[in-house]
Amino acid sequence: MQDVKILTLSDLLSYGRSHTGSSTPGPPIIFDQNPQRPPGSSTSNPNQELEPLAQLDYPAILVGTLRLPTLTLSCPHKNCLEFSDDSDAVCCDIVGFDLRAIGKKIHVLTWNFITSDHLSSGFLEIFKWDLSDSSHGLSRCSSMIIDSSPLVSNSIEHVPRASNAKSYRIHGVIGAVSPVSVVPCSVEDSSSSKSMNLRGFQVRVMTCECKLCRYEESVSVLFGAADCHFFTVPVYVYFCGPAWCWHPVLMKLIEKVVTISGLMKKLTMMGKQDSVLMLVTAENTVLHLPRLWKKIKVVRDSYVGTVKNVYMKGLVVELDKEVWLLLTNQSLMPPHGLRIGAVISMRNVHFVDPQFSWAKFLVLGTCSNTSIIVKSFSPLKTRCLIVSHSQSRLGDFIETLGFPTRLWVLLLVSCFQKTFSGVFSINKILGSSHNEGLVQRFANSHLNSSVFRARHGVLMEFCKHESCCSATDPYHGNLKLVVPISSFIYHCEILWINALLPSDNNLPVSCGGKYYQRSKRKSFQSEDLGIILVGMLKISSSSGRLQLVDMTGSIDVIIPDLPSFWDPNSIFEVIDYFLIAEGMPESDHPGLSGDDLLLPRSIFQGFPSARKPNLKIFVCFHLRNATCRNRLIYPYVASEDELNDTKSGIFHLIYITRKFRSQSHSKKLEISVFAEAIVMPWYLFLTAKDGSIHQEKVLIDCTIGNPTDHSSSKRQKTSCSSSQSGPGFKNNFCNVCFEKGTFLRETCGHQSCMGTNFSHEIPCLATIQGVNNFFFTSFGTLYRIKTNAKAKVCKGSAKKIFLAFASESDFKYQLLQIGGFYLMKHHKEGSLCNIKDSGLECAKVLVTSGTYLRKLSFSSEILTADKSMHDSSVSDIHLHVSSSLTGLFESDTKELETGQNAPDANLGNSGLLDHSCLFPARMFTSVCGDIIAVHSFDQGSDMCSSREHYGDLRQYGFCAGAKNCCIHVSVANQTVKVFEFFNQYLFPTGFGPGINATFHRILDLRPRVPSTLLLTSESSIVIDPIRAFNETHSSDGNLKLFRCRVVAVHLLVLEKNNRKCDDLKSNMQSRPLGVDIPLACFILDDGSRSWCCWADAKRAATLLRLKECPLSGCEASGYKKRWIGVQNTDRTSTMHHLQRILEKHERITVKSARSVFDPINQDFTVTVGSGRELTGLDDDFHLLASIIFNASINTLWTVVTEVMDSNAVNLLKEHLVEMQMPMPSMENLWAAEVCFVNQRTEAREMLQNNL
């Protein structure tokens, strides 16, 4: 040991770095169980420093004394062994523990020293040591080496004891050790009575009742007769007073046989009623331990695992094999050595399968009985575990829950910390010692009261361990996971990729002579995802779309019943929703496992936030199914009644005709978004009277009193109007709304006033939607003012207005729908009511965040709470009026729109529009139809360069855009194409095939360019949100399996495949086909029916037997011999022949020209890319005919088919019409999978099923 340096603790501390040192330095320890970094693990977790500890480059030892814990050491646990030398003292842990080392000087031969901010002097992990003087052993008992150590020696603390008390001895196996706790204690002496705080812990010793044990044989006899003992009787020993410091030693002795002598018996009260006779340590208590330890298995629930990560300040420990250890027990002080990379041993843990729907893993729950020791120290440079349980309501709350629920709450904490960071303070999220935080209130709202367990003290919980068992039950309330939105999006991306099957129905779109891949859409139900979304509703400033937002990200949403107003700071919880992911799958996306996506690891660490640009993800839900959680945050604030504005008053009725963004680059304009609206000659007057109590009566009365002819300009009045609108209604109307000094004011009290100025007076019932889906009804009357009315409602008036939206009211603009009726409240100071009468028919009205603007809908039925307005329309206020009123509105609207199409006269002057973008007004139109397909096409493609038809597009400068898009819309059974050359954000969320959409103000190029329309910067698309919602959860179609044969090939489009496979290692199956088959239709027959089977390239290639060799048809015709002379190679396959002819023709279309029911009775027309038709004399024709006959003359296939939805069938019709082919009158099915029939297996299964 000459070269070995003796280091002191102060040397280690002055070194200042975590390191490992040894008397014989060797190569660094290689840790073979590297903790896995999760995909894209964030750097937020400081525990992710996974480097090995630095090694001292010279041999060294430490010499010092190993001591029991003292309260003087600066350690929050106050429960660690202590290593001290002349220079300093540090917390330490030791493997290979020997009782003899306690209080003795030892040589530490190998160690880890971990610096820590929380431990003033760091932490020493001793894993190789020896006694500096082995002669200083403990007392030796008889012939067997038994170390005996008095528990109390020279201790300052003194436990009072009664004199002359009998001393007891127990011999047994240590089964469990409780945490150290402090209990108030009252001790009566002969002279006085004093109270003190007694520090101590309990040990459960499994004792034996054999003769040897009962007759108090000597310690050596007891240990010597090991086979005689059966340790089955639990005895509790309370180590109190100075003996408390033996806690770390006792922890290491679990499952070891010990003898403890010199104990006293005491009756201990547990709570107020229970009492337990307990053995208590005393002054002369001695612990006897044989030198040769023998483990006796008395602990059932033990586990050994490697620490992979530590989360939530040590409350959750991830072990290998997807095991999660919960350290939520506030009295438990896990060892500092519980670091990443350490191997730990846990005794008396609870094994719980939480049975969460979102992930499968095992939870280890800890309780007062649990003990954790480090079996092998971590060689990694990772932090010490310092658990400092501060008293908080959340901590107490968590301890009342079962283990699975505890983990759920901790995940919730982690999520909310990310979701609301910066929005709310940590105190608000987590709560404090006095107040509940958001997490606790949220958790409470999801948990049944039955899940909470009563808490007892540490002593009682230790002694009555069975009470903990209730915590191990899985929570059966189907707890759903709350994840930050960014994590949710990442999760959904992986889900989408994994859910996509290569066989998914993905008919290409044929357009302008080219085929385009359609994006693939998948929907997922929240029930299957098991995830709750929490966030705020905002309009994205970049895309203008409605989004659910938290601090981590945002996701587009469709909310069919979204009102025009909501508090952007309201927090919504969405449980029931549909998730839709749509995009073009990458051909070679990396294989991502979706199995462990929602493991706690991912939640605690967070997912990467990178999004794939080719994937759209959005969520659909009804606001009525979402819960506003503002009360969780502001529990004492009463919700504002935002309905006050709507309850009563006069409202103008406007009709939106146009929405646009200013194209002007003028910096003078602060406002860039506008809407054009027609001011209808109608006014709505609402009384403040809640009509809900009279709802049924109103319905009856109004229905009976339905005016016969509203189209007449003659004033109409329903019979129920006076009874429902209440006395003095007309007076009120005039007094409330008309300007002082106007002509009408003087006469308004007379019936004649109403007759002179109003052509219609229609009572109605308004159902008004408030936030949180609160509805109420109010009586009202609709007045139609006569054109020649002498009275004026407002100072000035205009027939057309331009709503100019201030930036803060951008969301109002985004939600505004062209073709929608809106209410604006009449207000003396309002900009609509103060239009200067400048003689113009048009005026600008500023819309600020305070402007009252609500969407209005009409119907002749009364909506109830069960059948809310969400089901029929999307509006804030729904008027129940007679059915003929709608027609009246329409005729009014039409009349007003006519003649007001002299476009932009006023706007042009105002500089709102760039004149270069103006189009002839008559070319604008609106179309409504079902979207069949949406595809992009490249700039400079046939679409806008070579084709004569599209020449006009260039006229408007439309070919400049890099991203062009074509939308196929079915309008009245005809397909029209709408081109888009602008930004993608023009499309509303959910826009896609199968959706019904109205395109407003699109440029109509018909009839010059057939079936062609153009989206312009002024266009807007309104989708039917209800249909969009319904579309999202339509099923993917039923799969059916057929054993069938190909009868004929109806249609086949072959294209040269330009994709190359770079990966030479990839097997043949996964390589891209040498030939692309964008469209293929086979007639299949299973003996009972025949149908059209459409297939993608891969399935079509299988059905065509392209990879088979040799081609019988070719062989017969000598075709093969001409090209190649070798068989059984890749080059002899039909595919190879096809590739060769496609090199020449680029594209080949084969159309059936004869029977599709007889395999041999088929004829074809074959056209190639150049447009030329191949004749029968052509070799290439011969090859293609051979391929088709070869496919038709074959044995059985097993084909898994999927029913095609109406949208896909429409798309097919469009393809066939374009090719001038008839649609066979058979069912259309999509080939999801095609494989050979194993005839023996199939026959056996059929026999088994029939026997």
Q: Closest distance between another protein and the C-beta of residue 1088, in Å?
A: 4
> Are 9 and 90 in contact, with CB atoms under 8 Å apart?
yes
Q: Closest distance between another protein and the C-beta of residue 1191, in Å?
A: 11
Contact pick of 112, 220, 1090, 1134 for another protein (by CB under 8 A): 1090
For another protein, the closer of residues 822 and 1164 by Cβ is: 1164
Contact pick of 1043, 1107, 1131, 1213 for another protein (by CB under 8 A): 1043
> Are 495 and 598 in contact, with CB atoms under 8 Å apart?
no
Q: Closest distance between another protein and the C-beta of residue 1089, in Å?
A: 5
What's the Cα-to-Cα distance from 993 to each of 100, 505, 935, 1218, rounded to whole Å?
79, 13, 10, 19
Contact pick of 207, 281, 1162, 1201 for another protein (by CB under 8 A): 1162
Confirm or reject binding of residue 469 to another protein (CB under 8 A).
no
Confirm or reject binding of residue 1246 to another protein (CB under 8 A).
yes
Q: Which stretch binds another protein (CB under 8 A): 673-681, 894-902, 1010-1018, 1171-1179?
A: 1171-1179
For another protein, the closer of residues 152 and 1138 by Cβ is: 1138
Q: Which stretch binds another protein (CB under 8 A): 333-341, 724-732, 975-983, 1159-1167?
A: 1159-1167
What is d(CA 133, CA 104) in angstroms, rounded to the nearest whole number? 9
Contact pick of 186, 197, 916, 1195 for another protein (by CB under 8 A): 1195
* 725 burial level (CB within 10 Å; 0-12, 13-18, 19+): buried
For another protein, the closer of residues 1186 and 1228 by Cβ is: 1186
Confirm or reject binding of residue 243 to another protein (CB under 8 A).
no
Q: Closest distance between another protein and the C-beta of residue 1048, in Å?
A: 10
Q: Closest distance between another protein and the C-beta of residue 1154, in Å?
A: 8
What is d(CA 452, CA 698) in angstroms, rounded to the nearest whole number? 49
Q: Closest distance between another protein and the C-beta of residue 1180, in Å?
A: 10
Contact pick of 740, 894, 922, 1240 for another protein (by CB under 8 A): 1240
What is d(CA 783, CA 505) in angstroms, rounded to the nearest whole number? 54
Q: Closest distance between another protein and the C-beta of residue 1176, in Å?
A: 2
> Are 937 and 964 in contact, with CB atoms under 8 Å apart?
yes
Contact pick of 1112, 1167, 1198, 1213 for another protein (by CB under 8 A): 1112
For another protein, the closer of residues 766 and 1183 by Cβ is: 1183
Q: Of 736, 742, 751, which Cα lies nearest the Cα of 795?
A: 742
Q: Closest distance between another protein and the C-beta of residue 768, in Å?
A: 45
- Angle, helices 403-419 vs 438-446, to 10°: value is 130
Q: Which stretch binds another protein (CB under 8 A): 526-534, 694-702, 806-814, 1175-1183?
A: 1175-1183
Q: Closest distance between another protein and the C-beta of residue 805, in Å?
A: 55
Torsion angle (degrees, nearest 10) of CA 823, 826, 831, 833 = 120
Confirm or reject binding of residue 1189 to another protein (CB under 8 A).
yes
Torsion angle (degrees, nearest 10) of CA 412, 417, 420, 426 = 120
Contact pick of 1182, 1200, 1213, 1219 for another protein (by CB under 8 A): 1182
Q: What is the DSSP letter of 1087?
A: S
Q: Which of residues 1212-1231 bind another protein (CB under 8 A)?
A: 1227
Q: Which stretch binds another protein (CB under 8 A): 171-179, 345-353, 657-665, 1176-1184?
A: 1176-1184
Confirm or reject binding of residue 1247 to another protein (CB under 8 A).
yes
Q: Of 727, 720, 646, which Cα lies nearest the Cα of 690?
A: 646
Confirm or reject binding of residue 1242 to another protein (CB under 8 A).
yes
Confirm or reject binding of residue 1127 to another protein (CB under 8 A).
no
For another protein, the closer of residues 1014 and 1185 by Cβ is: 1185
Between CA 901 and CA 905, with CA 904 as vertex, the angle to 5 degrees is: 95
What is d(CA 723, CA 981) in angstroms, rounded to the nearest whole number? 57
Residues in a beta bridge with 108: 62, 129
Q: Closest distance between another protein and the C-beta of residue 1090, in Å?
A: 5
> Are 1199 and 1093 in contact, with CB atoms under 8 Å apart?
yes
Confirm or reject binding of residue 1175 to another protein (CB under 8 A).
yes
Confirm or reject binding of residue 837 to another protein (CB under 8 A).
no
Q: How many CB atoms lie within 10 A of CB 632?
A: 21
For another protein, the closer of residues 830 and 1159 by Cβ is: 1159
Confirm or reject binding of residue 1087 to another protein (CB under 8 A).
yes
Confirm or reject binding of residue 1085 to another protein (CB under 8 A).
yes
What's the Cα-to-Cα distance from 567 to each of 93, 538, 629, rounded to whole Å?
56, 9, 12
Confirm or reject binding of residue 1158 to another protein (CB under 8 A).
yes
Contact pick of 221, 494, 1193, 1200 for another protein (by CB under 8 A): 1193
Question: Would you list the DSSP string of 156-211?
Answer: SS-----TTPPPEEEEEEEEEEPPPEEEEEEEE-SS-EEEEEEEEEEEEEEE--SH
What is d(CA 1018, CA 878) in angstroms, rounded to the nearest whole number? 29
For another protein, the closer of residues 680 and 1114 by Cβ is: 1114
What is d(CA 860, CA 718) in angstroms, rounded to the nearest whole number? 14
Contact pick of 1070, 1161, 1170, 1206 for another protein (by CB under 8 A): 1161
Contact pick of 1164, 1191, 1199, 1205 for another protein (by CB under 8 A): 1164
Confirm or reject binding of residue 1113 to another protein (CB under 8 A).
yes
Which single residue is written with the structure tokens 């299964």? 1245
Q: Closest distance between another protein and the C-beta of residue 1175, in Å?
A: 7
Confirm or reject binding of residue 1173 to another protein (CB under 8 A).
no
3-class state of residue 451 by DSSP: helix
Q: Closest distance between another protein and the C-beta of residue 1225, in Å?
A: 10
Q: Closest distance between another protein and the C-beta of residue 1021, in Å?
A: 38
What is d(CA 414, CA 1130) in angstroms, rounded to the nearest whole number? 56
What is d(CA 277, CA 228) in angstroms, rounded to the nearest whole number? 26
Q: Which two tokens stand for residue 356?
A: 């969460």
Query: How many residues belong to the site for another protein (CB under 8 A)?
Result: 43
Positions of E strands within 886-1038:
924-938, 963-971, 974-980, 996-1004, 1012-1014, 1020-1023
Total residue length of the chain: 1251
Q: Which two tokens stand for residue 794?
A: 């407002």
Confirm or reject binding of residue 148 to another protein (CB under 8 A).
no
Confirm or reject binding of residue 1163 to another protein (CB under 8 A).
yes
Contact pick of 432, 849, 1194, 1198 for another protein (by CB under 8 A): 1194
Confirm or reject binding of residue 1176 to another protein (CB under 8 A).
yes
What is d(CA 278, CA 608) in angstroms, rounded to the nearest whole number? 55
Confirm or reject binding of residue 1250 to another protein (CB under 8 A).
yes
Element (DSSP H or E) covering residue 922? none
Question: Would you list the DSSP string of 760-798?
Answer: EEEEEEEEEE-GGG-EEEEEEEEEEE-TT-S--SSSS--
For another protein, the closer of residues 5 and 1089 by Cβ is: 1089
Contact pick of 751, 1088, 1128, 1220 for another protein (by CB under 8 A): 1088
Confirm or reject binding of residue 1157 to another protein (CB under 8 A).
yes
Q: Which two tokens stand for residue 1251?
A: 């026997």
Torsion angle (degrees, nearest 10) of CA 607, 609, 615, 616 = 100
Which residues of this chain interact with another protein, rule CB under 8 A?
A: 1043, 1045, 1047, 1085, 1087-1090, 1112-1113, 1116-1117, 1153, 1157-1164, 1175-1178, 1181-1182, 1185-1186, 1189, 1192-1195, 1227, 1237, 1239-1240, 1242-1243, 1246-1247, 1250
